[in-house]
Amino acid sequence: MLIKWITCKVTENQKQSFSHAQAKWRSVEDIKGFLGQVGGWNQHQPLEACILTVWESREHYQSFMEKDHDPIFHQTGQSQTYEAISVQLFSKLTDSDDRQLLDGLESAQVLRVVCGSENNVLAKAGAETGGIVGQSLKDSQQYIAATLWNNDQLAPTGDAQAYTVALEQTWRVVKKGDHK
């Protein structure tokens, strides 16, 4: 399983257009190997958009990037909606319950992400409705723990190295089909 973590810095004037463009990514639902995507605004930095995408495999993701990403990206007009972007890729590390993760992608209201060293990430993963832990494809010393929560009262806060993201329903895309 491949995890893609995207953060985008926007200006106040770009926030609405970014959100509108992000809602147009619905067509990824039909791409082979796509499992789900959620995103929203970082509660600690309101001009930072955060998006978590999950793919069945690195090969499926690479095929998407080669064939499908650019046409969707240009069709949405998203290139003009942010000032800076960071994209990180991780491979699934834990033997977590994939069904629970997919259920969380479908229903969660809050996403909490911790990035950093293995000890830091695993210590702060916490309990959740669904989640995933991964290791960076670029730097084997970097990890991610992404956990999904039913409401923001349950999601731990106050950690300077954690992202707490209020999920936007219009940005949510989850593969329909035989994964249930």
Q: Which of 64, 91, 63 is nearest to 4 (CA)?
A: 91
178 occurs within a structural domain: no
- Which residue(s) pair with 111 in the sheet? 148, 165
Overall average pLDDT of the 19-28 stretch: 94
Q: Which of 38, 46, 64, 49 is nearest to 167 (CA)?
A: 38
Per-residue pLDDT tens over the stretch 94-119 = 766 678 888 889 999 999 999 888 76
Provide the b/e sequence for 53-83 (b: ≥16 CB within 10 Å). Answer: bbbbeeebbebbeeebeeebeeebebeebbe
164 occurs within a structural domain: yes
pLDDT reported for residue 180: 40
Overall average pLDDT of the 149-175 stretch: 78
180 occurs within a structural domain: no
What is the chain's mean pLDDT, rounded? 87
Q: How many residues does the chain have?
A: 180
pLDDT reported for residue 130: 78
The count of domains in the chain is 1
Q: What is the CATH number of the domain that holds 152?
A: 3.30.70.100
Phi, psi at residue 99, to the nearest 5°?
A: -65, -40
Per-residue pLDDT tens over the stretch 113-131 = 998 887 666 655 554 677 8
Q: Which domain holds residue 95?
A: 2-173
